[in-house]
Amino acid sequence: MMITGKTKVCGLIGDPVDHSLSPCLQNAAFKHYGLDFIYIAFRVKQEDLKDTILGVRSLGFHGLNVTMPHKINVIQYLDDLDATAKRIGSVNTILNRNGKLIGYTTDGIGAQKALKYYGVDPSAKKVVILGAGGASRSVSLTLAKDARELVILNRTLSKAEMLAKELRALYRQDTVIKADELNGQNVKRELADANILVNATPIGMQPNDESTPVDTALLRSDLVVFDLVYEPLETKLLIEAKKRGATTIDGLTMLVFQGAMSFEIWTGRTAPFEVMMKAATSELALRARNKN
């Protein structure tokens, strides 16, 4: 593509960003429509965040994705938030609208869309979420409004309890929201009657891709297993769940839906989901070949 003075710049800020698939899937989407946009990843340390956002303003960047560790801290430097970002207290997408920086979050909605893509409706279901970090927060805040019961299991119990308390304050009284320690006994008890299991921990991510966050003997054919890890694309947890006939959802599907929604915020066009998915899948396959 030809980059000119009219090219609109979008990017990703975070630390680290080397592993990100966002540049390949966003640039594929821009190319699909022939848009004069370019997307670049920028490593930004925590102490440089304020200066970075000032630079975004002065340079006239069109939009940003925001990843860890900046999703919460970046809010103080923005002009406004959409309703979902305000409720969740986290931002992963920024639009520069005529000089005003507006924050959005597509994280939790990306998870919701990934479930729907595989024909899974969390309404009136029991959902068990492993982890209480940023990924868990976004998914929990989105799914809690529909689920019959939501259980957050985390190694540090206080973090799970804090998130559960926040969820109870936000949503209806008839949704059961619980928190407990992430250990074998609690996982076994909660999975016994669960409908959906979400792994929002990094367990199973490369290079520790032989690890699983739960005893795979607890997996069942009537359980939906959703792993937010996307590298490797098929984690050991998903491989073992498939062996038992469970419905499995990989983290790449959620990532691409998040990216697709960011694309629509920046461009006002319907995102070419399949084009973005193909680009991301091809990049993961290339990385896997290069490691072998």
Tokens 């199973």 locate to 204
Alpha-carbon distance 285 to 67, whole Å? 23
* Sign (positive or negative) of CA dihedral 218, 220, 222, 228: positive
Angstrom distances, CA of residue 161 to CA of 5, 155, 158, 180 = 50, 11, 5, 7
Secondary structure of residue 271 in the 3-state scheme: coil
Alpha-carbon distance 141 to 135, whole Å? 10
Angstrom distances, CA of residue 200 to CA of 63, 228, 251 = 27, 6, 10
In the annotation, is 71 catalytic? Answer: yes
Q: Looking at residue 129, what DSSP letter applies?
A: E
Q: Pull the structure tokens for residue 127.
A: 């959902």
Nearby residues of 170 by Cβ (< 8 Å), 6 or more positions away: 87, 141, 144, 145
Alpha-carbon distance 219 to 210, whole Å? 17
Find, among 144, 147, 115, the residue nearest to 228 by Cα: 115
Q: Facing residues of 196 across strands?
A: 127, 224
Strands 63-66 and 93-97: antiparallel
Alpha-carbon distance 24 to 252, whole Å? 13
Alpha-carbon distance 257 to 107, whole Å? 9
Choose the catalytic residue: 71, 113, 125, 236.
Answer: 71
| Amino acid letter, 97 | R
Q: Annotated active-site positions, please?
A: 71
